[in-house]
């Protein structure tokens, strides 16, 4: 039995979930999936949405918590594979004879938001309620972890956060990166941004840099809550092209012919996109923090900006980027250490023989 929190966007965790379902040849259950988005994606037929419309709830976090805490599925499956940060709460209800494995794609950052931070953005009453929910979530999650056979996270960065904030020990299992179809092709000269257009992904900083650098071309592949706003704001920039959501095959083509990937999320948990770019032999411009420090580990992989980088720093990285075929070969070899087959070998072993 396999569950993932929800399918709201075409992000890395969603793609990994679909890949796992295809590899294990099982359905991925979820609280809710956006039908407009996922009917167009490869593997969407494997998603079983339970149509829990948590986004309409006054407290969506509580809605997801209570939904998963109350789930007691009847299944003959020999294992429970629960991924995300909410579906693992189901593990509390796991029968003793079932194998239980949790895989965290991310860290539930809401658990360490202070009352002061919450009250400033949501008001005092909601802050009090939310802090209470966070305490309950932490209690439930620790119970769920205690009933699991194995607990994995997708990077050492996430591993440290679970230990620091929740006192939870977890093993690192890097997510699967499908490198097939990614190859080093002659560049067509464009820079690529493949992150979702959300505030924490900082795509707007990339757009602002290319507004200042009209001699360089940027392709923006992906959607998000900021898409329409950004399209309107940069409509006069003829060097910026918004492509919207792309299929996996389309994304691989974009990587293959790009000049470089620019990827600037805040303290990213892992970051599959830089590995995909390197698998296509392309350099990466990113930020030296979080999971990026585990993938972009050599100067030949690209350029890492300091976390407090300025717009001038970003523009300089774009202007001075060099493309070297010998370094491309290094990047492709480097990316193979995250090949999906390594992930599936480990996961299959765990699901069939977990202590």
- pLDDT, one tens digit per residue, over 24-75 is 999 999 999 988 777 655 557 889 999 998 888 888 999 999 999 999 887 7
Q: Where are the domains of the chain?
A: 2-176+340-352, 190-338
What is the pLDDT, as a whole number, of residue 303?
95
Q: Which band of pLDDT confidence, cut at 50, 70 and 90, is reported for residue 324?
A: confident
- Strands 260-262 and 284-287, by their bridges, are parallel
Q: What is 279-290 written as a DSSP string? A: HTT--EEEESSG
Cβ pair 61, 84 in contact under 8 A:
no
What mean pLDDT comes out for the span 215-233?
96
- What tens digit of pLDDT does each residue of 71-106 get? 988 778 899 999 999 999 999 999 988 999 999 999
State yes or no: pLDDT of 355 exceeds 60. Answer: no
Q: CA–CA separation, 3 vs 20, rounded Å? A: 11
Instruction: Tell me yes or no: is domain 190-338 CATH 3.40.190.10.
Output: no
Q: What is the pTM of this model?
A: 0.90
State yes or no: pLDDT of 132 exceeds 90. Answer: no
State yes or no: pLDDT of 298 exceeds 80. Answer: yes
Residue-averaged pLDDT of the chain: 92
What is the torsional sign of CA 134, 137, 142, 148? negative
CATH topology agreement for domains 2-176+340-352 and 190-338: yes
What is the pLDDT, as a whole number, of residue 197?
95
Cβ pair 265, 283 in contact under 8 A:
no
What mean pLDDT comes out for the span 241-250?
92
- What tens digit of pLDDT does each residue of 264-280 get? 999 999 999 999 999 99
Q: How many residues does the chain have?
A: 355
State yes or no: pLDDT of 247 exceeds 90. Answer: no
Topology given in CATH for the domain delimited by 2-176+340-352: Rossmann fold (3.40.50)
Name which of 164, 171, 175, 54 is nearest 109 in CA terms: 164
State yes or no: pLDDT of 115 exceeds 70. Answer: no
């Amino acid at each position: 039995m396999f569950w993932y929190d929800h399918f709201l966007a075409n992000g890395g965790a969603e793609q990994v979930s679909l890949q796992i379902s295809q590899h294990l040849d099982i359905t991925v259950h979820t609280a809710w999936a956006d039908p407009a988005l996922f009917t167009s994606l490869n593997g969407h037929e494997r998603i079983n949405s339970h149509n829990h419309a948590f986004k309409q709830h006054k407290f969506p976090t509580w809605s997801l918590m209570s939904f998963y805490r109350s789930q007691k599925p009847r299944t003959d499956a020999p294992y429970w594979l629960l991924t995300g940060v909410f579906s693992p709460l189901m593990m509390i209800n796991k029968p003793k004879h079932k194998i239980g494995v949790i895989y965290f794609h991310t860290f539930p950052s809401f658990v360490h938001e202070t009352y002061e931070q919450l009250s400033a953005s949501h008001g005092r009453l909601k802050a009090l309620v939310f802090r209470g929910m966070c305490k309950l979530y932490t209690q439930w999650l620790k119970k769920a972890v205690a009933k699991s056979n194995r607990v994995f996270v997708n990077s050492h960065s996430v591993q440290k956060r679970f230990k620091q904030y929740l006192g939870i020990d977890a093993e690192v299992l890097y997510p699967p990166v499908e490198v097939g179809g990614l190859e080093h092709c002659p560049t067509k000269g464009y820079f690529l941004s493949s992150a979702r257009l959300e505030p924490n992904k900082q795509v707007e900083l990339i757009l602002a840099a290319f507004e200042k650098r009209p001699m360089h071309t940027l392709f923006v592949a992906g959607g998000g809550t900021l898409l329409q706003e950004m399209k309107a704001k940069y409509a006069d920039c003829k060097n910026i092209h918004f492509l919207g959501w792309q299929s996996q095959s389309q994304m691989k083509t974009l990587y293959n012919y790009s000049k470089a990937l620019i990827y600037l999320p805040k303290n990213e948990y892992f970051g599959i996109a830089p590995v995909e770019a390197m698998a296509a032999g392309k350099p990466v411009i990113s930020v030296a923090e979080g999971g990026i420090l585990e993938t972009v580990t050599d100067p030949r992989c690209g350029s890492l900006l300091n976390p407090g980088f300025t717009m001038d720093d970003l523009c300089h990285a774009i202007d001075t980027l060099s493309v070297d075929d010998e370094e491309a070969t290094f990047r492709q070899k480097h990316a193979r250490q995250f090949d999906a087959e390594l992930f599936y070998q480990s996961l299959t072993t765990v699901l069939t023989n977990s202590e």
